[in-house]
């Protein structure tokens, strides 16, 4: 059922019947009624005034009459205030909804096959808070699409080669003395990250010395001994030097072990992982194709370019003069490879907004080359996570490490839970699990509740609250409902109930009914924050209701049955909503 959709349809029909004006149902503007007015939904009449040449008051009265008369089972009352027609939904419609066998289930409508690329780390340092936003977003958008019926392929492109990897390797050779993650009892990605930091320390020192000798900063960076060594190592790597390759493989394997542990802990997973070391040579035939189609042109030095100035962008290099492909060319090549393997209808890239320009160029080039494989590219662009102290900068050590913040959150959850002392009978394993889902729930909800494309600020001092618009608040609401249902017992199905609904009961049912609509919107906009806001409202409304009305001591059996059914439905919808955010919801906490 879709009440808003139904309302639009019958309103359009009423308008046709009364005025003979044919309107598309989607042209009807319906909002939720503001709480200070009577009614549940509001039809905004202003846009009709011009077409029908009647005052809003008259329009509202006439349409309202018509709706009430012809659709008694849907509209039970109406009132008109200025240009707003406020509609009250009939109790019986909501009771019917509550009784329907599929209540709280999602209809799988959209069958497309969609690829979602997310996380995409470098192998020279551990994941940080920004990656977490990326990972939670990617995972959630995938889950939202899956719930809508999409066939999902989750992928990750690992940036496992290039100068930055060589930096860690050089530093390891200089300082490690054969140490490994095992020998030092360090998580692999952190272990390698430490050498990346060491590299930068040495580089900084050498650069300072060279600057003192009168070089410019640029020169100094390029000419420093450690940088020259790194450049050489990159060449060796490209030529397949066995020693370099062996070390590279070993260090990467440490990093992957570390990443896997983190992914496992936070519940991220991939169907297919691509490695840049396998794909960085891709795209050469594309350059050829582009030259043939005259989309690209060759400069005298042999480098290949595309001119995008007509599209308001610049000239972009697509192949170096030495014949190697650049990032953008690799990306096009990889897109083709992905398509050849999976034939997806759509490809979503979860990448930070600093690459907006790059992705724009990518899409443009694909269009110009008329590559069918890259038809539906969506850049799910998200804003940087900043700290109250400013941006995260690895050089200044102000990066919030992913593992650290996850562990902190779980520890805070533990501390809070222990203080409250409500789960004394849990086993040690159950407790571990509980702390984990609460801590992660807080973190995921915090990062997902904000519109992805906006920058957000994270305050590590105050950490994340467990009160208010937070994951734990919603988890807690769910746990309470479950607790009540356990104690009250009874059947959760709403059979044979005929009762007048209280305003709050009505509100809860109307909210629950909106779940699918919100889910679909959230898919179309690739925005999990819609779900987060929605589920918070549902939980909050339920809590208010709960504080005012008893279930165990309801006025009569009928009302008790009704409230049990509503509670069960609320719990179900909360669970589903949280599930697509990647947040588990406990039975008890």
Partner RNA sequence: GGUCCCGUAGUUCAAUGGAUAGAAUAGAAGUUUCCUAAACUUUUGAUGCAAGUUCGAUUCUUGCCGGGACUACCA
Q: Which of residues 292-311 bind RNA (CB under 7 A)?
A: 299, 301, 303
Q: Which of residues 512-531 bind RNA (CB under 7 A)?
A: 529
Select 113 or 416, whichever has its Cβ closest to RNA.
416
Give dist(CA 330, CA 399) in Å, integer: 29
Select 515 or 545, whichever has its Cβ closest to RNA.
545
Please report how close the Cβ of residue 151 comes to RNA at its closest, in angstroms.
29
Strand partners, 443: none
Give dist(CA 178, CA 251) in Å, integer: 12
Q: Is 519 exposed, middle or buried (0-12, 13-18, 19+ CB in 10 A)?
A: buried
Name the pairing type of β-strands 84-89 and 75-81. Answer: antiparallel
Q: Which of residues 467-496 bind RNA (CB under 7 A)?
A: 467-470, 472-473, 476, 479-480, 482-484, 487-488
Select 84 or 114, whichever has its Cβ closest to RNA.
84
Helices of type H across 152-283:
163-175, 181-184, 188-212, 217-223, 225-238, 242-266, 276-279
Q: Which of residues 260-289 bind RNA (CB under 7 A)?
A: 276, 280
Give yes or no for a contact between 196 and 168, defined as CB atoms under 8 angstroms apart: yes
Q: At 70, list the tokens.
A: 């012809």
Give dist(CA 266, CA 441) in Å, integer: 10
Please report how close the Cβ of residue 301 comes to RNA at its closest, in angstroms.
5
Give dist(CA 497, CA 479) in Å, integer: 26
Q: At 112, list the tokens.
A: 């497309």
Taking CB under 7 A as the binding criterion, the range among 257-265, 288-296, 337-345, 449-457 that sits at the site for RNA is: 449-457
Of 457, 500, 503, 557, the one binding RNA (CB under 7 A) is: 457
Of 320, 346, 368, 433, the one binding RNA (CB under 7 A) is: 320
Q: Which of residues 522-581 bind RNA (CB under 7 A)?
A: 529, 533, 536, 540, 543-544, 546-553
Residue owning tokens 């169907």: 271
Q: Which of 436, 440, 435, 446 is nearest to 468 (CA)?
A: 446
Select 198 or 482, whichever has its Cβ closest to RNA.
482
Q: Which of residues 138-167 bind RNA (CB under 7 A)?
A: 159, 161-163
Phi, psi of 465 (to 5 degrees): -75, 155
Q: Which of 136, 124, 132 is nearest to 196 (CA)?
A: 124
Please report how close the Cβ of residue 152 comes to RNA at its closest, in angstroms.
25
Please report how close the Cβ of residue 113 comes to RNA at its closest, in angstroms.
27
Give dist(CA 35, CA 42) in Å, integer: 11
Give dist(CA 304, CA 326) in Å, integer: 10
Give dist(CA 112, CA 345) in Å, integer: 6
Select 46 or 72, whichever has its Cβ closest to RNA.
46
Select 217 or 321, whichever has its Cβ closest to RNA.
321
Helices of type H across 28-108:
46-52, 56-70, 91-99
Taking CB under 7 A as the binding criterion, the range among 100-108, 370-378, 397-405, 415-423 that sits at the site for RNA is: 415-423
Q: Which of residues 372-411 bind RNA (CB under 7 A)?
A: 384, 388, 391
Of 97, 136, 199, 466, the one binding RNA (CB under 7 A) is: 466
Residue 436 as a binder of RNA (CB under 7 A): the answer is no
Q: What Rg value do the Cα atoms of the chain yield, rounded?
A: 29
Of 450, 510, 568, 585, the one binding RNA (CB under 7 A) is: 450
Q: Which residues of 108-129 are buried (b: 16+ CB within 10 A; e: fewer)?
A: eeeeeebbbbbbbbbbbbbbbb
Of 261, 453, 493, 497, the one binding RNA (CB under 7 A) is: 453
Please report how close the Cβ of residue 430 comes to RNA at its closest, in angstroms.
13
Binding mask 50-89 for RNA (x = CB under 7 A): -------------------------------xxxx-x---
Count the alpha carbons within 13 Å of 490 in the hemisphere toward its beta carbon.
Answer: 24
Taking CB under 7 A as the binding criterion, the range among 111-119, 133-141, 209-217, 457-465 that sits at the site for RNA is: 457-465
Select 143 or 317, whichever has its Cβ closest to RNA.
317
Of 321, 394, 398, 500, the one binding RNA (CB under 7 A) is: 321
Give yes or no for a contact between 569 and 560, defined as CB atoms under 8 angstroms apart: no
Please report how close the Cβ of residue 81 comes to RNA at its closest, in angstroms.
4
Residue 460 as a binder of RNA (CB under 7 A): the answer is no
Give dist(CA 238, CA 324) in Å, integer: 11
Please report how close the Cβ of residue 183 comes to RNA at its closest, in angstroms.
30
Taking CB under 7 A as the binding criterion, the range among 9-17, 104-112, 285-293, 321-329 that sits at the site for RNA is: 321-329
Size of interface with RNA, in residues (CB under 7 A): 91
Please report how close the Cβ of residue 161 comes to RNA at its closest, in angstroms.
7
Name the pairing type of β-strands 75-81 and 304-307. Answer: unpaired
Q: Which of residues 84-103 bind RNA (CB under 7 A)?
A: 84, 86
Q: Is 323 exposed, middle or buried (0-12, 13-18, 19+ CB in 10 A)?
A: exposed
Distance of CA 209 to the CA centre of its chain: 46
Please report how close the Cβ of residue 96 comes to RNA at its closest, in angstroms.
25
Terminus-to-terminus CA distance in the chain, angstroms? Answer: 33
Phi, psi of 153 (to 5 degrees): -120, 115
Please report how close the Cβ of residue 359 comes to RNA at its closest, in angstroms.
10
Give dist(CA 564, CA 481) in Å, integer: 9
Of 17, 21, 31, 111, the one binding RNA (CB under 7 A) is: 31
What single-letter DSSP state applies at residue 73? T
Please report how close the Cβ of residue 180 comes to RNA at its closest, in angstroms.
26
Of 100, 205, 253, 356, the one binding RNA (CB under 7 A) is: 356
Q: Which of residues 207-266 bind RNA (CB under 7 A)?
A: none
Please report how close the Cβ of residue 132 comes to RNA at its closest, in angstroms.
15
Select 152 or 255, whichever has its Cβ closest to RNA.
255
Residue 188 as a binder of RNA (CB under 7 A): the answer is no
């Amino acid at each position: 059922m879709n009440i808003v959709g139904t309302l639009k349809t019958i309103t359009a029909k009423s308008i046709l019947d009364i005025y003979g004006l044919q309107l598309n149902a989607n042209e009807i503007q319906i909002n939720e009624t503001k709480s200070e007015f009577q009614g549940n939904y509001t039809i905004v009449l202003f846009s009709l005034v011009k077409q029908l040449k009647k005052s809003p008051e008259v329009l509202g009265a006439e349409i309202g009459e018509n709706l009430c008369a012809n659709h008694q089972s849907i509209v039970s009352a109406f009132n008109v205030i200025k240009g707003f027609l406020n509609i009250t939904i009939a109790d019986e419609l909501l009771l019917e909804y509550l009784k329907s066998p599929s209540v709280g289930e999602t209809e799988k409508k959209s069958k497309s096959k969609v690829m979602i690329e997310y996380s995409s780390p470098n192998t020279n340092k551990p994941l940080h808070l920004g990656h977490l936003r990326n990972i939670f977003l990617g995972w959630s958008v995938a889950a939202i699409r899956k719930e809508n019926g999409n066939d999902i392929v989750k992928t990750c492109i690992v940036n496992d080669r290039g100068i930055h990897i060589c930096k860690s390797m050089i530093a390891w050779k200089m300082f490690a003395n054969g140490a490994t993650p095992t020998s030092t009892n360090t998580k692999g990605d952190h272990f390698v990250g430490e050498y990346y930091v060491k590299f930068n320390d040495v580089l900084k020192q050498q650069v300072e010395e060279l600057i003192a000798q009168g070089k410019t900063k640029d020169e100094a960076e390029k000419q420093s001994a450690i940088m020259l060594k790194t450049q050489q190592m990159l060449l060796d790597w490209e030529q397949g030097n066995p020693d370099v390759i062996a070390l590279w493989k070993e260090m990467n394997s440490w990093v992957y072990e570390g990443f896997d542990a983190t992914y496992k802990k936070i519940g991220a997973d991939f169907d297919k992982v691509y490695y840049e070391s396998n794909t960085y040579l891709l795209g050469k035939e594309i350059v050829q194709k582009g030259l043939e189609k005259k989309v690209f042109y060759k400069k005298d030095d042999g480098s290949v370019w595309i001119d995008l100035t007509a599209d308001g962008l610049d000239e972009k290099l697509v192949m170096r003069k030495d014949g190697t492909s650049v990032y953008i060319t690799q990306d096009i090549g990889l897109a083709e490879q992905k398509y050849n393997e999976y034939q997806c209808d759509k490809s979503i890239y979860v990448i930070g907004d600093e690459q907006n320009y790059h992705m724009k160029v990518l899409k443009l080039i694909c269009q110009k080359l008329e590559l069918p494989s890259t038809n539906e590219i969506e850049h799910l662009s998200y804003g940087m996570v900043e700290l109250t102290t400013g941006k995260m900068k690895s050089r200044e050590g102000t990066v919030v490490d992913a593992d650290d913040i996850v562990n902190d959150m779980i520890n805070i959850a533990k501390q809070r839970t222990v203080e409250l002392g409500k789960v004394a009978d849990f086993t040690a394993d159950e407790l571990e699990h509980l702390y984990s889902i609460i801590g992660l729930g807080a973190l995921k909800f915090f990062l997902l509740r904000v519109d992805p494309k906006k920058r957000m600020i994270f305050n590590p001092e105050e950490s994340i609250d467990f009160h208010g618009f937070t994951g734990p608040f919603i988890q807690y609401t769910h746990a309470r409902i479950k607790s009540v249902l356990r104690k009250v017992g009874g059947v959760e199905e709403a059979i044979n109930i005929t009762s007048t609904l209280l305003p709050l009961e009505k509100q809860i049912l109307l909210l629950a009914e909106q779940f699918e609509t919100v889910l679909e919107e959230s898919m179309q906009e690739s925005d999990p924050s819609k779900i987060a806001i929605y589920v918070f409202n549902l939980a909050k409304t339920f809590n208010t209701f709960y504080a005012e009305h008893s279930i165990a001591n309801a006025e009569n059996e009928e009302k008790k049955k009704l409230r049990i059914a509503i509670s069960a439905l609320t719990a179900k919808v909360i669970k589903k909503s949280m599930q697509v955010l990647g947040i588990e919801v406990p039975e008890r906490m």
